[in-house]
Amino acid sequence: MLFACFALNHAAFASEAIQTATPNVNESFVTDDGAGFAFRPRTNILITALGYQFSSNSYVTGKVEIVDAARVVLTSAIISTNSPKVNEIYYEPIAPVVIPAYSTNFVLGQDHEFFLTNFTAFWLGGLLDTNEFSVAPELDYLGAAIGTNLPISSKTNLFQGANFQFIAQPSPAGLEIRASLPNTILLIWPEEAAGYTLQSSATLDTPMTNVLQPPVLIGGVRVLALPDEGPSRFFHLVQ
């Protein structure tokens, strides 16, 4: 029985939380543990990559964290200018992390090397007004955040620098395919499809073969990361 069938042909990339074309301006803030912004998803999301926008060629590494309302670090990554670049932001892939709908969370970025000998953390980035940035429609932007206690200092500004990529979780009825970062795709399907086998082929007129890599169960869905091996690829789940 066919559960779902999709073709991959230059699939859309995972959404960026903050979407803006405004260049990062060279401003700096010394903080307790970095600067970023608070957000609330309107639906369950999978965060797949953490990003940092460097405002100067002198700074080549940054640390980005996702922190929940209880101040628990959910995931973190070290980003460098060698990480894959999407638009103006360098992204480092992570093991996908589920963020529940309507929960308050923070993304924080900090310089990872240069100032750590003198400060707890040093954040270097731009301060943008509301009309200079946009937010993905699946998220509510709660405001800029700074410091150990993560206060929201302004709802009309953004401390530009830290960012993340995410995928809204699919409906219970299907298989979803997304490009995560260049040369990588994510396949996501419901946990309840336990008796189904994922198959793929390069064209519709060639036999489907089983995908041998096992998925990871994350927050009620199965997630599998695969290399992007060509301009077109077809997948389906069979029982």
Model confidence pLDDT, tens digit, residues 201-228: 877 677 888 988 989 888 778 888 888 7
Q: Which of 121, 143, 167 is the last residue before a domain boundary? A: 167
Give me the mean pLDDT over the 54-81 stretch.
85
Q: In whole angstroms, give the CA distance from residue 89 to residue 145.
A: 19
The larger pLDDT score, comparing residue 183 to residue 33, is at 183
Whole-model pTM: value is: 0.72
In this structure, are 79 and 108 located in the same domain? Answer: yes
The 3-state secondary structure of 157-177, one letter per residue? EEEECEEEEEEECCCCCCCEE
Same domain, 155 and 177: no
Strands in 43-120 per DSSP E: 45-52, 61-68, 73-80, 85-86, 89-99, 105-111
- Report how far residue 91's alpha carbon sits from residue 193's, in angstroms, rounded to the nearest whole number: 31
Q: Give me the CATH number covering residue 205.
A: 2.60.40
Buried b (16+ CB within 10 A) or exposed e, 137-173: ebbebbbbbbeeebeeeeeebbbbbbbbbbbbbbeee
- Regarding whether 29 and 126 lie in a shared domain, the answer is yes
Say whether pLDDT at 30 is over 70: no
Check whether residue 158 and residue 177 sit in a common domain: no
Average pLDDT of 4-20?
A: 63
Same domain, 141 and 194: no
142 lies in which domain range? 15-167
99: domain CATH number is 2.60.120
